[in-house]
Amino acid sequence: MTTRIALLSDIHGNVAALDAALADVRREAPDLVAVLGDYVVNGPRPAEVVDRVRELEAQGAAVIQGNTDIAAADLDLAAAFPWFDEVPHVNVVAAEWAHDRLGDERLDWLRRLPAERRVWVDDTLVLFCHASPGSQTYGFGADVDAATVVERLARTDARIVTVGHTHVADVRDLGWKQVINPGSCGYAFDGDPDAAWALLEIDGDEVRAELRRSPYDTRQVSDELSERGLAGDVYRAATVRTGRYVR
């Protein structure tokens, strides 16, 4: 019997992208939805995104925390961005803006989210994490060498490792493990601005993953970011519009 899991990640305050992806996800009627973190920082609608994801959680979705959720919830920028000696001002103001718009209940919800979830599908263990097993901040970007990829994957006994964080959709079959990154639903870096998600199918020993995109009005979200006027918003707007990281 095939088990179907919809994967979403890195929504980043873009509720229009999330709504578009969820409309397509619901048409697929998966057995489980998993959302892999980074809900509120950068985009113009953080509270609406949290409310949507909380609804998914209430319906049984597996929901975990990303690194920028730590930034927004506790304003702990050093924990959220450990690779910076000094966190850039544009990151600070985006986290503070989201924090101020969420309210205490939503912030408490972000704080209580787990860093990882593990789900057995018959004899196959699936790990939901944000960046890599045991880490919300160090992932599987294209610049990560093969030895480091193996070292990070060896931290878990899961056969299927689902991740986000890089904002680039990717499926890697390494034989002993498979890594599935649905890409960024709301803030893509891979050249396609549409909302990214993935459909994972597990049927015994057979594993299939299909990367999907859901079109939405990127121009409207880009314009809303431009009008917000935070430091860095002109670059955030261009990123949303083009699907490429602009800075």
Q: Which domains does the chain have, with CATH numbers?
A: 3-115+181-242 (3.60.21.10)
**Are the CB atoms for 184 and 164 separated by under 8 Å?**
yes
Give the chain's residues under pLDDT 70.
Answer: none
What span, in angstroms and rounded, lies between the C-alpha atoms of 229 and 225? 7
Q: How confident is the model at residue 17, as a pLDDT?
A: 98
Q: Would you say 67 and 137 are in contact if contact means Cβ atoms under 8 Å apart?
A: yes
Name the amino acid, one letter, at 2: T
pLDDT for residue 174? 94
Task: State pLDDT tens for residues 204-226.
Answer: 999 999 999 999 999 999 999 99
Q: What pLDDT score was predicted for residue 134?
A: 97
pLDDT score of 203: 96
Distance CA 190, CA 61 (A): 26
Separation of alpha carbons 206 and 176, rounded Å: 13
pTM above 0.85, yes or no: yes
- pLDDT tens for 23-39 read 999 999 999 999 999 99
Instruction: Report which DSSP code applies to 185.
Output: S
Instruction: Report d(CA 186, CA 13) in Å as an integer.
Output: 7
Mean residue pLDDT of the chain comes to 97
Distance CA 209, CA 171 (A): 7
